[in-house]
Amino acid sequence: MLLISNSRVIDPKNRVDDRLSILVDKGRIVKISKRIKADGAERINANGLIACPGLIDMHVHMREPGREDKETIDTCSRAAAHGGFCTIVGMPNTSPVADNQTVISHVLARGKNALVNVHCTGCITKQSLGQELAELADLKGAGAIAFSDDGRPVRNPLTMRRALEYCKMLEMLIISHSEDLELADNGVMHEGWVSTMLGLRGKPEVAETVAISRDILLAESVGARIHITHVSCKNSLNLISAAKKRGVKVTADTCPHYFSLTDEAVIGYNQNAKVNPPLRSAEHVAAIKRGLASGVIDAIATDHAPHTALDKFVEFDNAESGMVGLETAVPLVMTNLVAARVINLRRAIELLTIGPARILGLDKLGYGSFSIGAPADITIIDPNKEGVVNPEEFESKGRNTPFAGMELRGWPVYTIVKGEVVMRDGRVV
């Protein structure tokens, strides 16, 4: 047994925000009360700390199979535990890509030995080429939790429509990397004043908004669900908001870097600030914050994308896009959203727990809340802990973060998965 005592328990699904204790037994939540007696239980005194349902990251790149030099399922799970995440969902752009049952089965089998819960997505199309549909029913049967061609958009609208039709029948979700590659025109950063000053090819916001508009209209036409990932633009939010008001089954997430940084982070040709979609101007950052506060955005995901130094520290045009995010997400949310009074703490936790759980259907299994009998996945945060981001302390193989040296406040200190403590006092067990 495990007893977490005297914490501020925040459970958005069950509308709980109170000083309580939590009793865990056999990997499940068995009691939540003001006072709990549990002789012989392991104890965590969480006075002054926040206990919330285990955080869920619905968008990570585990790199295995194929690029174990960048990350493995094991190191990714350790990074997740270090960052306070109890559940991660891997994207399918591995090598080979997850367009067949063998890759899905491999990832899930390896995930069984990980420190955190590991799920994976399957490809929408074969080889993620956007032309011919993958065997979606087979991928679902192998355990894929959703479908995506993340890293590449589905360029053919008819293929996307067919995918949405099949997913409606299969009761599965499509996670769309919405980008018009022709409009993007091989841009390497946000199109604007900074790109002009640096002499770098810009990627206009319309490359995102046109693709989102297409995907929403296609989903609406067939009555299917669609999730728009890593939203970065003001007009993207307008499109998603309008679609929700029409009753379209659309959800969306954004990432910490889109509310924490502007395109000015690229100044100096900082390869660690190169990401896709690109960091946008201050106008878009402000819009993302409004979208998080208003409910247009349903979840925060990291798009954790580890790269080797050889992949990153080359000419900016040739540098790989992406940054690691699992180990900085919580303090970025606590510092740039909660402390900045963009959203309250309950809303922040909702975006990291029950929000992604509902999108993925994991709430039906008890994830994302402290319901009695639910899996004992618990994240404990110290809202007053201050720290400087030091990539050398990451559990991830990736060191590619633009937040190095930044002082942040509000860090995870305990991660508990199925009743087992996998991070204690900020250190992975």
Query: Which residues are tagged catalytic?
Result: 303
Annotate 191-247 with DSSP letters as a single string.
SSHHHHHHT--EE-THHHHHHHHHHHHHHHHHT--EEE-S---HHHHHHHHHHHHHT
10 Å Cβ neighbour count for 55? 30
In b/e form, how buried is each residue of 72-107, taking b as 16+ CB within 10 angstroms? bbbbbbbbbbbbbbbbbbbbbbbeebbbbbebbebb
At 177, the amino acid letter reads H
10 Å Cβ neighbour count for 409? 15
Strand partners, 24: 2, 29
In 26-121, the DSSP E strands lie at: 28-33, 42-45, 50-53, 55-60, 85-90, 117-120
Helix axes 206-222, 234-246, angle to 10 degrees: 10
Number of continuous H segments (helices) and E segments (strands) in the chain: 14, 19
What gap in Å lies between CA 396 and CA 278, rounded to an integer?
22
The pair phi, psi for residue 206, each rounded to 5°, is -65, -20
Annotate 360-416 with DSSP letters as a single string.
HTGGGGTTTS--TTSB--EEEEEEEEEEE--GGG-SSS----TTTT-EEEEEEEEEE
Strand partners, 50: 8, 381
Query: Kind and range of the H or E element at 334?
Result: none
Closest CA to 55 of 20, 30, 91, 79: 79
What gap in Å lies between CA 9 and CA 13, rounded to an integer?
12
